Amino acid sequence: MSDLYHLRRPVRQILTEWLDIHPPTPKTFEGVPRNNLDYVFNANPETAFLSKGADQVEPAFVPKFKPGTGIPLLEFDPEKLEVGRRLSDSRSENNFVYEVKWNGEPYVLKVNHQTIDDQENKRDRHLVEMNAYHRLLQSELCKEGVVPRPHGYFHIWGRQHPGWARTEKRPYETSGWLEGFTNPAEYPRAILFERIPNVTWLSRDQFTRENIFDLFDTLARLHAVGVIQGDMDARNVLWDGTRFVLVDFDKAIVYPERERVSKTQCSRDLIKTWENFMFDSW
């Protein structure tokens, strides 16, 4: 991967050249990239797409944002919460994401779950995700619909909390929505998001040229506010019929204000997007 990227020209320009040669008709991009030319972001001077021209692309310079109000802490109350279907991969033990109603209104609840790996790497995925959404809120990308708006966050009662005994609810029991939290010392922490209606995943076969531009433009808007998504998996890109919405920021990197974003980090997002959307059969 080391020779991939250092973008020397704007993404749109690189994509345009590539797409002129490989027009996106269904199933054009079969399987993994076949050769270096299929790596549109390859910086190898032997390959066509990045060989010409001087370095014209400056990495994004993160602006200074207004302080903003932050994401409010909500007081957890099981009586106000109605948990519906699970949205996250049922094999995943990392996070538990559900369609919920809170006070009768539809939301998505993401309960962040620390793995052993996280503990070893001293990584707190809830704080990483909170931090990223704090920036995304400040930057107005939530308002503009690029990412969902976080409505608030919860510290959910742990399994020993006496409050449970006063309710009928037993979420930690088998088949309960918190059954994955087996460690009594871990208090589940969660973020309540605006639920984006009618979203699907746009499959590789359905991508038009405009979709490809849109998706990369959406990603560039994140990078411009100093956020690297860090996990550009196909399932983290939602399509509502008119626009892409990016979710899942528990592996994000947030650059400080008034600093430049790392081109190498941006390129990781670009390359992963390229591989996952153009080539991966999922």
Ligand X SMILES: Nc1ncnc2c1ncn2[C@@H]1O[C@H](COP(=O)(O)OP(=O)(O)O)[C@@H](O)[C@H]1O
> Does 273 sit near ligand X (CB under 6 A)?
no
User: Partners of 244 in the beta sheet?
Assistant: 239
Kindly tell me which of 129 and 248 has the beta carbon lying closer to Mg ion: 248
> Does 229 sit near ligand X (CB under 6 A)?
no
Kindly tell me which of 50 and 252 has the beta carbon lying closer to Mg ion: 252
Copy the structure tokens of residue 226: 């100093």
Neighbours of 31 (CB within 10 A): 9
Tell me the CB-side half-sphere exposure of residue 247, using CA atoms within 13 A.
27
Partner from ligand X, Mg ion, none contacting 95, C-beta within 5 to 8 A by type? ligand X
Q: What is the largest CA-CA distance in the chain?
A: 69
Kindly tell me which of 95 and 273 has the beta carbon lying closer to ligand X: 95
Q: Which residue in 154, 177, 193, 239 binds ligand X (CB under 6 A)? A: 193
Considering only residues 83-122, where is the footprint of ligand X by CB under 6 A?
A: 87-88, 92, 94-95, 97, 108, 110
User: Partners of 153 in the beta sheet?
Assistant: 73, 191
Kindly tell me which of 44 and 276 has the beta carbon lying closer to ligand X: 276
Smallest gap, in angstroms, from Cβ of residue 78 to ligand X?
A: 21
User: Partners of 197 in the beta sheet?
Assistant: none
Which residues, including other chains, have CB under 8 Å from residue 240's CB and lie 6 or more apart?
A: 196, 197, 198, 199
Amino acid at 156: I
Question: Which of these, 267, 204, 277, 217, lies nearest to 243 by C-alpha position?
Answer: 217
Considering only residues 138-167, where is the footprint of ligand X by CB under 6 A?
A: 148
- Contact letters (x/-) for ligand X, 22-61, by CB under 6 A? ----------------------------------------
Report the distance separating Cα 16 and Cα 5, nearest Å.
17
> Does 123 sit near ligand X (CB under 6 A)?
no
Residues that bind Mg ion (CB under 5 A): 236, 248
> Does 243 sit near ligand X (CB under 6 A)?
no
Question: Which of these, 266, 193, 264, 274, lies nearest to 226 by C-alpha position?
Answer: 266
Q: Summarize as ranges the residues that interact with ligand X (CB under 6 A).
A: 87-88, 92, 94-95, 97, 108, 110, 148, 193-196, 199, 235-236, 238, 247-248, 250
